[in-house]
Structure 1
């Protein structure tokens, strides 16, 4: 092997070959990273759209939950009023029964 002609090439040819290999490697690296950035950008845009839809859905769910809470509170108030009325009627019924029993005992 001749030191002035390694692998049968002149030094200028070897420099050209290594430069060509370097340029091809740099281009491949650039193409891969550019494709990765485009893919990441596309995925990020899809994720952003999905999050926006999820946010809209959560707003609607919160509105429905607030409506249900208001309905439940209204129902609870009505139930409390009905229970109060039933208690009053029970007391009146007990008084009437007591009055009837007292009249029966007098007879």
Structure 2
């Protein structure tokens, strides 16, 4: 191998080949970089849209949960009133039964 002609090329030819390889590598790198940025931008926009839709859905879910909570509280109040009424009726029924029993014993 001749020091003045490595690989059978002149030094100027080697510099030109390395320069060409460097330019092609830079161009490929730029192309890949731009493609990656565009892809990331599209994915980020899609993610942003998905998050916006999720936020809308969560607002609706919260509204439904608030409505269910109000309905449950109303149902609980009604149930408490029904239980109180039932307790009063049970007490009245017990008094009536006691009165009937004492009246029967007195009549016998």
TM-score bracket for the superposition, by shorter chain length: over 0.9
Q: Deviations over 1:35-92 (max 9, x none)?
A: 0111111111101111110111011011101100110110010000000001001111
Per the alignment, residue 72 of structure 1 pairs with: 72
Structure 2-normalised TM-score?
Answer: 0.93
RMSD: 1.0
Where in structure 1 do 4 or more consecutive aligned residues deviate above 6 Å? none
For 2:79 and 2:7, how far apart are their aligned partners in 1? Answer: 99
Aligned residues: 107
For 1:81 and 1:2, how far apart are their aligned partners in 2? Answer: 108
Shift of 1:8: 2.6
Q: SS where residue 3 of structure 1 aligns?
A: coil
- Long gaps (5+) in structure 1: none
Structure 1-normalised TM-score?
Answer: 0.94
Shift of 1:9: 2.1
